[in-house]
Amino acid sequence: MPALAPGLSSEQRRCRMTSLKQQPPHLLRGIPLAVQNLKKAFGTREVLKNIDLHIPAGQFVAIVGRSGCGKSTLLRLLAGLDKPTEGHLLAGSASLDDAREDTRLMFQEARLLPWKKIIDNVGLGLGGDWRPQALEALEAVGLAERANEWPAALSGGQKQRVALARALIHKPRLLLLDEPLGALDALTRIEMQQLIEKLWGQYGFTVLLVTHDVSEAVAIADRVILIEEGQIGLDLLVDLPRPRARGSHRLSALEAEVLNRVLAIPGSPPDPEPFSPLPTQLRWAN
């Protein structure tokens, strides 16, 4: 059983224990993750400190926190783009490195190749008869009719849908989302949140979403984890039925709980989270 984060209240501990319950059968295809005594330092700066975390197969987890708190560093470690200073990253009982073929990562930018048509961007790097699969992935994100157009003809939200299709074509079991909706307008952002939530339910992958938007986190995640100064400060179960009623009292109360915890820690101008690029076998969504 993973250690509970220091400083958690009894209610927060209850939420963490509840979050370890078995997932519904249709979500068990996802990769179960275990983070054990994880530390990451860049020189003398310790960005992550003694992180212990268990994520059941198919769980949708949102990671929030102030800029520079370490949340993006955690995602990069899970993606294999950096190596931990200490600790272990596991997919079930095996090393997470063994699950790179089943992992996809999306960024804030769609990163489409402008000289390739949309369907070719979705099938990038694939061999054999991949076009039917690419069309199926585009159908899943609502863009099958745009398959033979150029990326320049798409809006920002549509480009992110293509990036999502590029992940789906590989049937991922772990989807890592590094603020992929951060640059979208409010309405498009909500539409994309609903699409990601729907596809998560259909495909059954495990999701880790890094976001600055607390309302986004509580609206679509099973669980919200707050990183404070490199440690887990809050681990909150969002035990509400889906689809969730945005603006409801219960959802607003959970959002306020997370925001109040974030704002309780005095802010100071953060240093950007450093990174050291490493060769990786990760298969990109973007």
Query: Closest Cα partner for 100 from 276, 283, 286, 284?
Result: 283
pLDDT of residue 34: 97
What mean pLDDT is predicted for residues 213-218? 96
- DSSP H helices in the chain: 10-18, 71-79, 118-122, 131-140, 156-168, 186-203, 214-220, 249-264
Summarised one tens digit per residue, pLDDT across range 83-130 is 999 999 999 999 999 999 999 999 989 999 999 999 999 999 999 999
The one-character DSSP state at 153 is G
Return the closest-CA partner of residue 116 out of 134, 141, 140.
134
Residue 213 half-sphere exposure, CB side, CA atoms within 13 Å?
Answer: 19
Asked whether the predicted pLDDT for residue 282 surpasses 50, the reply is: no
Dihedral over alpha carbons 20, 233, 180, 243 (to 10 degrees): 50
Phi, psi of 4, rounded to the nearest 5 degrees: -80, 145
Mean pLDDT of 189-202: 96
Please list, in sequence order, all residues whose beta carbon lies within 8 angstroms of the beta carbon of residue 130, skipping any fewer than 6 positions away: 123, 169
- Residue 207 phi/psi, 5-degree rounding, is -125, 135
pLDDT at residue 1 in the model: 40
Tokens of 240: 């509400």
What does residue 123 show for φ and ψ, rounded to 5 degrees?
-95, 15
Residue 263: the pLDDT is: 87
- pTM score, whole prediction: 0.85
Question: What band does 4 get if pLDDT is binned at 50, 70 and 90?
Answer: very low
Q: Token digits for 238? A: 């969002």
Q: State the first-to-last Cα distance of the chain, in angstroms, to the nearest integer.
A: 35
Nearest by Cα to 178 from 273, 46, 39: 273
What is the C-alpha separation between 95 and 92, in angstroms, rounded?
8
136-195 residue pLDDT tens: 999 999 999 999 999 999 999 999 999 999 999 999 999 999 999 998 999 999 999 999
Contact between 144 and 135 (Cβ < 8 Å): yes
The tens digit of pLDDT for each residue in 19-62 reads 445 666 666 789 999 999 999 999 999 999 999 999 999 999 99
Domains of the chain: residue spans and CATH:
10-111+172-264 (3.40.50.300)
Mean pLDDT, range 200-213, rounded to an integer: 96
Residue 86 has a pLDDT of 97
pLDDT value of position 28 = 72
**Backbone phi and psi for residue 234, each to the nearest 5 degrees, phi listed first:** -150, 135
